[in-house]
Amino acid sequence: MSGATTHGGGATVAPREADAATATNGDLVTVKDLKVHFPITSGIVFQRKVGAVHAVDGISLIVKRGETLGLVGESGCGKSTTGRAILRLEPLTGGHVLYEGADLARLSGRALRRQRRRMQMIFQDPYASLNSRMTVGDIVGEPLLVHKLCPRREREKRTRDLLELVGINPNTLNRYPHEFSGGQRQRIGIARALAVEPNFIVCDEPISALDVSIRAQIINLLQRLQGEFGLTYLFIAHDLSVVRHISDRVAVMYLGRIVELAENSVLYETPMHPYTQALLSAVPIPDPAVEEMRRPIVLKGDVPSPVDPPSGCHFHTRCPAVQEGLCDVNDPALVEVRPAHWAACHLITPGDFPNIRTAENIGPDLGATALRDEGG
Amino acid sequence: MSDDLVPHLENPEERRAYDQAYGDTGADAGMATIAPDMETDLKTGFETPAEDTALAAGEAGYWSPDAAIIEHKGTWEEVWERFRKDKFAVAGLVVIGILVIVAITAPWIAPHDPTTQYDEGLTMKGMPMGSSAKFWLGTDTLGRDLLSRLMYGARVSLVIGIMANGLALILGVIFGLTAGFFRGATETAIMRVTDVMMAFPIYLLAVALVSVLKPSLWILIFVIGFVYWTPMTRVIHGEVLSIREKEFVAAARLTGCTNVRILYRHILPHLVAPIIVYTSLGIATTVLFEATLSYIGLGVQPPTPSWGQMISDGQNYYLSAPHLVIYPGLCIMITVLAFNLVGDGLRDAFDPQQRRR
């Protein structure tokens, strides 16, 4: 992770040296009980609050240095809002976000802008996330200018190096974004994020808006950059197979809360929370013979509105294993039910696995044609 | 970490072949493969067909689509292309051009001095005369040459119209930007004040103000600009509200830009189109505004000619010497119409999704 890395034509975009103080602790980003509620107001002149959209309703997680944490969930479950709130693009209603132990919520103004060097984001929409009135060179060079990272003469060279790093022809830096394709624009966005040499990057569904044939290239690029620069990713997506490919650990969200968090293969092979099991069982298997014999778990009803989430466990209205009197009254806490495997469900006691599903029911190996034996 | 999802090819030949088959090619390369030697309107910028095919074959380099620098057509050129197609708008632009030239060169091309009262300009009974060899459009009630007065009147109308609108524009942009970007109490305060101002009858307000202050060129510019900033504030405020929600603004904030830099570098460039459109339309209104004020006697004072004032002077003679009223009236009408046509044309030209009438 230390030293300059050369790439292509001698580019020198150096990774950041780890701070001595935090080198001992592997936690890079800690989120404690994060809440983001968007107020709903009514009234013409004087607006009063009549309700709130509970987009994020008490999330705690830890992103370790150098890992990729995947965050999955349905559309509208609050995963993008979580990513944005961690970067302070959304106002926090409650909770804390700690970066290397320092509370970000207390920062403002210049201190916050300085902190922005460490954490960046890759946006979902490659068309809207680039300013259409700026040239590509300006877009990628702006972070260098704002943070005064290099003298003016050197800025063009650094910009060219960055473009080359992500696979864009450096001679195109005087072009405008609309002259590039979606995949190229996403690369430009990645170059912009890398310009400040961050440690932590939130990837907010970076490939959802791209052609399927391009997605692989972008994922490979992200992985290669992670290897070269020792980056830490929070990878937000709703495509389970992509998250499986790229993540070390995966967290599953439902209606503003995390319901399960585990190592990659552990989550996909032995999910414990009923929602995760239903989610994974919904993924079709390419082999028609296997797919015929499978019976996926179908949840009844629709996702409740985040304006008025259900009491107790948010999932209890659709859960096939719901218990009256317990699940609709108390909020389940996210507990460690197995080593390095957290789940938020009243019915799972640590050490006891009554609901564990096997490979036959849920088809854990997405794309596999053979059934596997029952695992741990 | 797992393997790559695409084969990791060491050989550059294989890599190029793979890229050609599956690579992320730019939009331009697609057209080139379809019709490499066709004279197209799309102006991909390729010089020769040979370059097209070379490009399509991926020979130019590892990064598709190209290695050469291609000149791109800027947005301004596209806007101009669309504007050109609207004949009315172009006619309006021509008229404005003529007006501006006349206004600038009036001291040299006007046949007579506009304030000189000629004895031969009046009939025996002291009535204004129609067109003659010496006075091409006739004379007014005091024997002054109408044509020269019209030319000098153009200067007054255009100067006041443009500068008053400029003042309204500056005020409108400042208030609209501040209200739209900072939101909260600031926005409420500014927009409610704007609402109150819009509820005022602006002509009455202008009359009141000018009556209190002495009517002169600068007072007029100030007053008209001051009463007219509200529509621009509304428009800019609305535009800023929509622009600030766009992702590139969030990205700029994440990059660490200060608010000032975001306003100046990210939001303002997107406001250029509405500003230009509403400025042209606004000049039409301010020209009319000035003519109205002059008509009721609160514009520039005689002997400086102003079209509205000329109408007011000549209105008692509308039966016997209708040219006194018709010509200034026509000038006002043509000017306002020209600015309106140009403003409409610009609005259509800036919006590529607008369907042609």
Instruction: Please state the three-class secondary structure of A49-61 as a single string.
Output: EEEEEEEEEEEEE
Query: Which amino acid does the sequence have at A372?
Result: R
Q: Which residue shows structure tokens 């535009």? A: B239
Residue range A348-363, pLDDT digits in tens:
877 655 444 443 343 3
Residue range A193-202, pLDDT digits in tens:
999 999 999 9
pLDDT band at A69 (very low <50, low <70, confident <90, very high): very high
Report the residue of chain A nearest B247, measured CA to CA: A129
Residue range B275-292, pLDDT digits in tens:
888 888 888 888 888 888
Report the residue of chain B nearest A166, measured CA to CA: B63
- Give the one of A183, A184, A216 whose C-beta lies nearest to B6's C-beta: A216
Distance CA A222, CA B206 (A): 63
pLDDT of residue A82: 93
Partner A, chain B 327-346, Cβ-Cβ below 8 Å: none
Which superfamily is assigned to A2-118+198-369 in CATH? P-loop containing nucleotide triphosphate hydrolases (3.40.50.300)
Q: Which residue in B222, B220, B228, B225 sits closest to B294, CA to CA?
A: B220
Mean pLDDT of A303-321: 86
pLDDT of residue B281: 87
Alpha helices in A167-231 (DSSP H): 182-194, 212-229
Record: contact B250-A89, CB cut-off 8 A: yes
Distance CA B314, CA B312 (A): 6
A143: chain B residues, CB-CB within 8 Å: 255-256
Record: contact A169-B63, CB cut-off 8 A: yes
Record: contact A128-B252, CB cut-off 8 A: no
Helix, strand, or coil (residue A120): strand
- Angstroms from B205 CA to nearest CA on chain A: 26
pLDDT of residue A334: 85
Q: Which residue shows structure tokens 């096939």? A: A320
A131: chain B residues, CB-CB within 8 Å: 248, 252, 266, 269
Helix, strand, or coil (residue A72): strand
Q: Which residues contact B280 (CB under 8 A, 6 or more apart)?
A: B339, B340, B342, B343, B346
Report the residue of chain A nearest B266, measured CA to CA: A131
pLDDT band at B17 (very low <50, low <70, confident <90, very high): low
Mean pLDDT of A165-181: 89
Tokens describing residue A327: 């699940």
Q: Which of A349-353, B104-108, B163-167, B197-201 has the lowest mean pLDDT?
A: A349-353
CB contact B5 to A (< 8 Å)? yes
Mean pLDDT of A105-121: 84
Whether the upstream peptide bond of residue B303 has omega within 30° of 0, thus cis, is yes
Q: Which residue shows structure tokens 């009721």? A: B296
pLDDT of residue B55: 41
pLDDT of residue A361: 41
A171: chain B residues, CB-CB within 8 Å: 67, 69
A39 versus B59: which is more confidently predicted?
A39
- Angstroms from A369 CA to nearest CA on chain B: 18
CB contact B246 to A (< 8 Å)? yes
What number of other Cβ atoms are within 10 A of residue A72's Cβ? 24
Record: contact A169-B67, CB cut-off 8 A: yes
A121: chain B residues, CB-CB within 8 Å: 251, 254
pLDDT band at A159 (very low <50, low <70, confident <90, very high): very high
Distance CA A97, CA A70 (A): 18
Q: Whole-model pTM above 0.90?
A: no
Q: Which residues contact B273 (CB under 8 A, 6 or more apart)?
A: B350
Tokens describing residue A349: 């006691």
Q: Which residue in B289, B290, B231, B237 sits closest to B267, CA to CA?
A: B237
Report the residue of chain A nearest B192, measured CA to CA: A45
CB contact B251 to A (< 8 Å)? yes
Burial of A230 (0-12, 13-18, 19+ CB in 10 A): middle
Residue range B106-123, pLDDT digits in tens:
888 888 887 777 777 777
Using the predicted structure, report yes or no on whether residue A22 has a pLDDT greater than 60. Answer: no
Record: contact A171-B5, CB cut-off 8 A: no
Distance CA A81, CA A253 (A): 12
Do B227 and A118 meet the contact criterion of CB atoms below 8 Å apart?
Answer: no
Tokens describing residue A61: 């997680």
Record: contact A123-B250, CB cut-off 8 A: yes
